[in-house]
Structure 1
Amino acid sequence: MATPYGIPEAPEVLDRREGPFGEVVLRRHGDLLQIIANGCFLMDTSDGRSERRLVDAALAALDAADAAEGRGPRPGPHVLIGGLGVGFSLAHAAAQSRWGRITVVEREPAVIDWHREGPLAEFSAEALADPRARIVETDLVAYVNETSDTFDALCLDIDNGPDWTVTEGNDGLYSPPGLADCARVLRPHGVLAVWSAKPSPEFEGTLRNAGFRHVRTEEVPVARGVPDVVHLGIRPG
Structure 2
Amino acid sequence: MVTPSHAALPQAPGTHAPEDGPVTLDRRDGPHGEVVLRRRGAGSGGVFEIIANGCFLMDSSDGRSERLLVRAALAELSGRTDPAVLIGGLGVGFSLDEAAAEPAWGRITVVEREAAIVDWHREGPLDELSGRALRDPRTALVHADLKEHLRTARDRYDALCLDIDNGPDWTVTRDNSSLYSPAGLADCRAALRPGGVLAVWSARPSGEFETSLRNAGFCRVRTDEIPVARGVPDVVHLAARPA
Which residue number corresponds to residue 22 of structure 2?
A: 11
Question: What are the equivalent positions in structure 2 for 1:29-44 lying under 5 Å apart?
Answer: 29-30=40-41, 31-44=46-59
Partner of residue 90 from structure 1, selected from 96, 99, 103: 96
Query: How far apart are the structure 2 equivalents of 1:86 and 1:200?
Result: 24
Q: Structure 1: state its 5+ residue gaps.
A: 1-6, 64-72
The reply to whether residue 182 of structure 1 matches residue 188 of structure 2 is yes
Which residue number corresponds to residue 111 of structure 1?
A: 117
Letter in 2 for 1:42: L
Letter in 1 for 2:83: P
Q: Which string of whole-angstrom CA distances, capped at 9 and with x for unpartnered residues, describes residues 90-125 of structure 1?
A: 011000000000000000111011111111101111
Q: Structure 2: state its 5+ residue gaps.
A: 1-17
Partner of residue 222 from structure 2, selected from 207, 212, 216: 216
Query: How far apart are the structure 2 equivalents of 1:148 and 1:61?
Result: 23
Letter in 2 for 1:43: M
Identity %: 68
Which residue number corresponds to residue 70 of structure 1?
A: none
Secondary structure, counterpart of 1:131 in structure 2: coil
Which residue number corresponds to residue 233 of structure 2?
A: 227
Which residue number corresponds to residue 68 of structure 1?
A: none
Letter in 2 for 1:150: R
Partner of residue 27 from structure 1, selected from 38, 50, 66: 38
Moved more, 19-28 or 189-198: 19-28
The reply to whether residue 60 of structure 1 matches residue 75 of structure 2 is yes
Query: How far apart are the structure 1 equivalents of 2:225 and 2:74?
Result: 16
Letter in 2 for 1:17: R
- Residues matched between the structures, number: 222
Query: How far apart are the structure 2 equivalents of 1:216 and 1:27?
Result: 35
Query: How far apart are the structure 1 equivalents of 2:177 and 2:220?
Result: 23
Query: How far apart are the structure 2 equivalents of 1:59 and 1:223?
Result: 26
Stretches of 4+ aligned residues off by more than 4 angstroms: none
Letter in 2 for 1:129: R
Query: How far apart are the structure 2 equivalents of 1:162 and 1:105?
Result: 18
Query: How far apart are the structure 2 equivalents of 1:169 and 1:144?
Result: 15
Query: How far apart are the structure 1 equivalents of 2:238 and 2:113?
Result: 23
Q: Which string of whole-angstrom CA distances, capped at 9 and with x for unpartnered residues, describes residues 68-101 of structure 1?
A: xxxxx11100000000000111011000000000
Which residue number corresponds to residue 9 of structure 2?
A: none
TM-score for the superposition, normalised by structure 2: 0.89
Q: Which string of whole-angstrom CA distances, capped at 9 and with x for unpartnered residues, describes residues 172-198 of structure 1?
A: 111111111000010000000000010
Q: Which string of whole-angstrom CA distances, capped at 9 and with x for unpartnered residues, describes residues 138-167 of structure 1?
A: 111111122111000000001111011131
Which residue number corresponds to residue 152 of structure 1?
A: 158
Query: How far apart are the structure 1 equivalents of 2:167 and 2:40?
Result: 24
Query: How far apart are the structure 2 equivalents of 1:16 and 1:120?
Result: 14
Which residue number corresponds to residue 66 of structure 2?
A: 51
Secondary structure, counterpart of 2:205 in structure 1: coil
Letter in 1 for 2:25: L
Query: How far apart are the structure 2 equivalents of 1:162 and 1:8?
Result: 36
TM-score for the superposition, normalised by structure 1: 0.91
Moved more, 165-174 or 192-201: 165-174
The reply to whether residue 171 of structure 1 matches residue 177 of structure 2 is yes
Query: How far apart are the structure 2 equivalents of 1:114 and 1:12?
Result: 15
